[in-house]
Structure 1
Amino acid sequence: MATNGPTPNEALNRLHRDTGWTLNALARAVNLIGTERGTPRTYSASTVHAWLKGHVPKEDARSLIVEALARKLGRRITYAESGFPAPVQGQSKCSIVEELIDLGSQDMERRNFLGASLFSVVLTIPDWPDVVDRMKTVQASAKCGIGTSDVDLVKKMTDSLSVTYDDCGGRHTRPLAAAFIVNTVSPLLQADGPAEVRKAMMSAAAFLCYLTGWMAVDEGLQGLAQRYYVKGLQLAGASGDRMTYCHILRGVSVQAVDLGHGPLAVRLANAAADTSPKTGSRMRAFMAGQQAHSFAVAGDKGNALSCILDAERAMDKAESVSSAFGGYDPATLAYHAAQVRYGLGDVAGSVESLKQHFKLRRPEETRRSALRFQSMIAERQLEIGQLEAACETWKGILEEYPSVHSGKVDRHVASIGRRLRPHRSNSAARNIFDLALEVRRD
């Protein structure tokens, strides 16, 4: 007696048709994302065919499929829209603090939890109206009380962790931040106290989550960074801190644009600008510069140029550097101009703007960022055929590199050999090629 097979997944079939992909192309896209997060897959056209025919893949595979479809179609795809059951994760009713404790505990113990390295374009980023002033999501306990000194402790520790990060890098500093979140900050978030003090504590914790997420980005742990950013957004909203909320949201846009997700970066940058308090010209420059970079990566030349001009006008009107918000200054604006020019195809112009950045840099800027931006100069010099100039730039980078701890800089240095391999007949290129192999961190 014949039995009925699974019902074809019409929703998934519809999305697959929208992508224009073959079965093999979808399999390759899913496999690539699996490799990104450290869980390689070997799906084939026959596997995809089974999915379309109604076979329901495991939860891990479903997340990869949804991510691949979202990247291709340039919009968020829900599990329901793809015809898949929703994942169990995220269905619990844990409070923000309980989720933060779980996140920090996994991080401080260096567990290789799922998705640590996977950036997701389908992650739900909480909008300001959804999180603002929701203190009830952070339940207070009557076991102890908190005061302004506790808030000051979190702020001072965040500043100290930031300095340590600049000196030692995220690989060493982020576990310290995670331990502080779990052992000190989370209990303080759950403690009783005056409403204004509790709001200030949540605001301080939000910025600490942002810093910890920034460290994770430097290491290339994109999924982990997103989770810290989302916790920071939720805490900033619960405290009613619009300034910190828009600062973190802009940071999520920075993460997205650096990974090449232009449309998502635009949406996040615009949301940050729309939410930000209207506190002056420097804030406008801070937001417009990121919008310009995002539009450029998204291929929207008109809006990119309009926003970078807006940022330049705002910077001309800005108050003194000592009162700058988010460290945004003429040097940072020059960096954004370089990224806009590069995104729009003007590689030589981007090199000139990066050189202008270094002319405008303040002494307190970190060596880590200096090596990152110098690496961009060298890579772009090579791209426009300036081999000798690129080698000279790389020489300076490699002299400084052993004393700098940064995952991003590590990745730049690791790419030197690949970039120079075709040019080893040139003596300068050969010398830099050999030096890069000697100093690189594997």
Structure 2
Amino acid sequence: MRPLRQVRQERGWSRARLAHELERRAEGLHTLAKRVSLVRMISAWESGERDPSEPYRSLLCAAYRRSAEELGLGGEVNRYRSDIGLTYSPSLHETVLTLRGLAHLDEIKHTAVTHGKYMPEALNSACLDWLFGDAVNDLPQLEIKSVTSHDVDEIRAMTRAFDGLDRSFGGEHCRMLAVRYLQDRAIPMLRAPKPARIEREMFDVAAILCELIGWMAYDTSRHSLAQRYFTQALRLAEAAGNRAYAAYVIASMADQALYLARPGQALRLAQVAGNISNRVGVPVVTTEALMLEARAHAVQGDAQACRAALERAERSFHRGRPEIAPEWASHWDDKLFASHVGTCWLELGELNAARTFMGTAWDREEKQGRRYVYAASQLAHVALLQGEIEEAASLATTAVQSARGLTSHRSKSHLTALRKQLLPHAQVAYVREFEQKTQALEGRRSSLLQ
């Protein structure tokens, strides 16, 4: 529930009563909208459709005897700046205000964030500020109910649920639910009184939730939005004293840069993540960073550097036993490892090796739709390059069928690319069958593949 509505309900006021209080305080000073319009305006403020301007903002603060910040009106943060969330702030107070403003603008689909462009230079600045800047815990605590370990467990459980839905059905499936939960439940807890140990845990779980929302945005091609959430997750991880997770967030940034065809930037980010994870001694993060480094080298055609990074990644992977891996990295397994390796070999044109590793990654019992679609698509690509048109079309059909119900733009982009690769072979019966099945599954004007 939004603070503005919550405060009104706690006082037992109706919207008409609040309108009366505003009118009383404005008398002789300001001319307000008529009562009917004012009540509608209050409803819009409380739902987040609009923000109150002056003099309404000041009158609300006076009526409730609360600050603009306490009422969720943005405080000193300009919530409509197009660069909101793109910077890494040393101030924890500013970070929380920024995150709250970002989540609000995301929820109401404000163009300040929904139409933003991916800014690689902002990522570079954020990493430098994280590595060499001073972090300040200047977050004031509101006089509200104290946070307990039960609250931390709740956020951890909700994040786990959101993560499971995302992996099964794609980023669009429950992203807005996660955003609302971050805004209405998690962010207020950051401001509540809590012991030092609980405070660190609270920042930790908030960082994980924030990074997950970033991944959901990335999966739905909202790349500027994803970048903003990743940057704020990095700051929260630092506040939690969890440098391993901070490095993991940097690896997520590298993954996104690689997807956006920026291998040079991906390489730099992956190397930063790898250096930090080596220092803190969390092998699974080192493995992910080295895998992304290897893939960046492969895209750039540097086979020697790619092989060296893969060898280091393999050693790190075998050190990172599942029982010692953090919960947030529990998805790392043999199939994910094989998928990254297979992608490297495919980029380098080593088709037999790519087929072997992608075959390991492609598990018919896989419950994570994106993994299944990706592995099947890559195997189809390998088969096509090896002249196995029938096999490629069969795998392509399997990939399309597996994408049903997924709300993942990444998966759709892999299938779109695969269809383009098969178009030159449209005269082959198996490819025509693939086209027919695709049209039957998605309709002749398929939103999935067109």
Matching residue of 2:447: 441
Alpha-carbon distance between aligned partners in 1 of 2:191 and 2:414, rounded to the nearest angstrom = 42
Alpha-carbon distance between aligned partners in 1 of 2:192 and 2:301, rounded to the nearest angstrom = 48
393, 396, 399: which one aligns with 1:397? 399
Alpha-carbon distance between aligned partners in 1 of 2:431 and 2:294, rounded to the nearest angstrom = 35
- Deviation sequence 1:46-86 (CA, Å, 0-9, x none): xxxxxxxxxxxxxxxxxxxxxxxxxxxxxxxxxxxxxxxxx
CA 1:280–1:418: 2 relative to 1, 3 Å: closer
CA 1:289–1:194: 2 relative to 1, 3 Å: same
Matching residue of 1:102: 101
Alpha-carbon distance between aligned partners in 2 of 1:97 and 1:309, rounded to the nearest angstrom = 40
Task: Give the C-alpha shift of residue 278 in structure 1.
Answer: 4.1
**Letter in structure 1 aligned against 2:332:** Y
Task: Give the C-alpha shift of residue 108 in structure 1.
Answer: 2.0
Alpha-carbon distance between aligned partners in 2 of 1:274 and 1:335, rounded to the nearest angstrom = 23
Name stretches of at least 5 consecutive residues in structure 1 with no aligned partner: 1-86
Alpha-carbon distance between aligned partners in 1 of 2:348 and 2:227, rounded to the nearest angstrom = 27
The 8 Å contact of residues 424 and 430 in structure 1, kept in 2 or not, is answered as: yes
- Deviation sequence 1:102-160 (CA, Å, 0-9, x none): 11112222334456573322123334444675322x43223332121111111111011
The 8 Å contact of residues 413 and 436 in structure 1, kept in 2 or not, is answered as: no
Task: Summarize the alignment of residues 114-133 of structure 1 with structure 2, pairs less than 5 Å apart.
Answer: 114=113, 116=115, 118-123=117-122, 124-127=125-128, 128-130=130-132
Matching residue of 2:358: 354
Task: Give the C-alpha shift of residue 391 in structure 1.
Answer: 0.3
CA 1:167–1:132: 2 relative to 1, 3 Å: farther
The 8 Å contact of residues 204 and 242 in structure 2, kept in 1 or not, is answered as: yes
SS in 1 for 2:281: coil
Alpha-carbon distance between aligned partners in 2 of 1:352 and 1:117, rounded to the nearest angstrom = 40
The 8 Å contact of residues 250 and 290 in structure 1, kept in 2 or not, is answered as: yes
Matching residue of 1:208: 209
The 8 Å contact of residues 82 and 116 in structure 2, kept in 1 or not, is answered as: no
CA 1:295–1:105: 2 relative to 1, 3 Å: same
Name stretches of at least 5 consecutive residues in structure 2 with no aligned partner: 1-80
RMSD: 2.7
Matching residue of 2:432: 430
Task: Give the C-alpha shift of residue 101 in structure 1.
Answer: 1.2
Task: Give the C-alpha shift of residue 281 in structure 1.
Answer: 4.6
301, 312, 315: which one aligns with 1:313? 315
How many aligned positions are there? 352
TM-score by length of 2: 0.71
- The range that moved more, 170-179 or 288-297, is 288-297
Q: Which runs of 4+ in 1 moved over 6 A?
A: 91-94
**Residue 360 (structure 2) pairs with residue 342 (structure 1):** no
SS in 1 for 2:301: coil
* Higher gyration radius (CA): 2
CA 1:96–1:280: 2 relative to 1, 3 Å: closer
Matching residue of 2:218: 217
Alpha-carbon distance between aligned partners in 1 of 2:283 and 2:200, rounded to the nearest angstrom = 27
TM-score by length of 1: 0.72
Alpha-carbon distance between aligned partners in 1 of 2:120 and 2:154, rounded to the nearest angstrom = 35
The 8 Å contact of residues 248 and 285 in structure 2, kept in 1 or not, is answered as: no
- Deviation sequence 1:280-317 (CA, Å, 0-9, x none): 65454333222212222233332211110112233344
The 8 Å contact of residues 289 and 307 in structure 1, kept in 2 or not, is answered as: yes
